Chain A
Amino acid sequence: MDLIVPLTVTAFVLFGLVKKVRVFDAFLCGAREGLNTVYTIAPTLVGLITAVFMLRTSGAFDFLTELISPVAEFLGFPPEIVPVALLRPVSGGGSTALLVGIFEDFGPDSFVGRIVSVMAGATETTFYAVAVYFSSAGIKKIRHTLIAGLVADFTAVVFSVLTVRLFLN
């Protein structure tokens, strides 16, 4: 697992060379696009991370966590992950802000930190994807898409708890 990143990088570069791609030029072009991505998400993250910070330091977060903990315990989830799970289908930036807050409080390699990481990796901003794809095709009646998408998200949440328990702790 430790070698996976350098191996992937080497494989990409070698494969590019074999395919006669100008690898460094391609890299620069992509990296510029990456810079653009960060530039685009920066205002969203500043706004949302600030709001999450305010929620955390004011004590509102502890209060909410306390409030949902009976339900979370019933389902076998740590209560801290519930806000991330609820916000994830609605807002990518918002759930990233919560994720970062959890990393700060518990660390990314803690049980909770790992669960929210897996959750963030295995789910998508469902409402956004549904809106973009259907509106671009001019579809108004989306039938059972949202139900299926949200069932998928819920499954990912359940599995993120299960897999972290099984594989990592």
Chain B
Amino acid sequence: MMNYLWAGMILLSLLAGVFLGNPEGFSSSVMDGATEATELLISVVGIICFWSGMMEIAKRSGITDYLAKLFSPVMRLLFPAVKRDSEAMRYMTLNISANLLGLGNAATPLGIEAMKALRKESPLEDTASDEMVLFVVLNTASLQLLPTTLGAYRANYGSKSPFDIMPAVWVSSIAALVAGVTVAKTFCLIKRRTPSHQRKLKKHGRYEVWI
């Protein structure tokens, strides 16, 4: 996918450069672009390192676990079919709290463990269960308390207050989350009404009812 996208971008710009004019600026843009990327990386590396350091302190002092505790009621509401103290639930809450802190490197392995644990509980073999779908949707909505890398990019291009966008980010993230969860839950409701799924539920002995 990325291969075609990248090649397409280059081809398109060549065509435009030849037919739309400004060939001079265009020919220097290749070198300028590479230099710009390097300058950007060098200027943000300090901020990214600094915040990764801060987040490591947060992780070691157990902030992730506090957040997990804080979020467990919400998680129970979203995943009523997953047992409270199960492995899957523990990994899912830890994944969400790592995401909130922007610990991407920690969140992904936790999420993968959560998916594996969910699969153990599911009778559906290679088909995603309702819980798996919802959990991945939660991950795609990207709830993050402090978008530090974004702040670094904004600061580098001269933003007066790189984090003034945060309330807007939170509201938009939560709106996205609500929309994603609503779609996921609606699909589950529709599916549960179909006779073939009722039979499947009976066969596997799963009678848990979704919200």
Contacts and interface: CB of A to CB of B under 8 A. Distances in A.
Interface of A: 1-2, 4-5, 8-9, 12-13, 15-16, 18-19, 21, 23, 26-35, 37-38, 41-42, 45-60, 63, 90-91, 94, 96-97, 99-100, 103-104, 107-109, 113-114, 117-124, 126-127, 129-130, 132-134, 136-145, 147-149, 151-156, 158-160, 163-164, 167-168
Contacts of B78: none
A15 B14 contact: no
Contacts of B194: none
28 contacts: A1-B163, A16-B58, A26-B56, A29-B53, A35-B52, A37-B52, A45-B40, A55-B13, A57-B22, A57-B25, A90-B5, A100-B36, A107-B157, A117-B169, A123-B141, A130-B140, A132-B108, A133-B111, A133-B112, A133-B132, A139-B119, A143-B187, A145-B132, A148-B137, A148-B180, A151-B179, A163-B168, A168-B164
A148 to B, nearest CB: 4
Nearest to B44: A38
Interface stretch (B60-68, B79-87, B198-206): B60-68
Interface string B35-65: 0111011001100111111111111111100
Main secondary structure of the interface of B (DSSP, over half): helix
A122 B146 CA distance: 11
A34 B53 contact: yes
Given A16-B58, A46-B41, A133-B135, 16 more contacts: A15-B63, A21-B57, A27-B56, A29-B56, A30-B53, A35-B52, A59-B21, A120-B147, A121-B165, A122-B172, A143-B133, A148-B187, A149-B137, A155-B176, A156-B173, A160-B168
Nearest to A56: B29
A142 B128 contact: yes
Given A51-B33, A122-B172, A149-B180, A91 B52 contact: no
Q: Considering the complex of A and B, which 7 residue pairs feature the smallest CB-CB distances, nearest first?
A: A30-B56, A34-B52, A53-B33, A152-B180, A60-B16, A50-B33, A58-B17
Contact of A144 (B50, B161, B187): B187
B126 interface: yes
B16 A103 contact: no
Given A28-B53, A30-B57, A104-B157, A54 B105 contact: no
A132 B160 CA distance: 37
B116 interface: yes
B136 A45 contact: no
Contacts of A13: 57
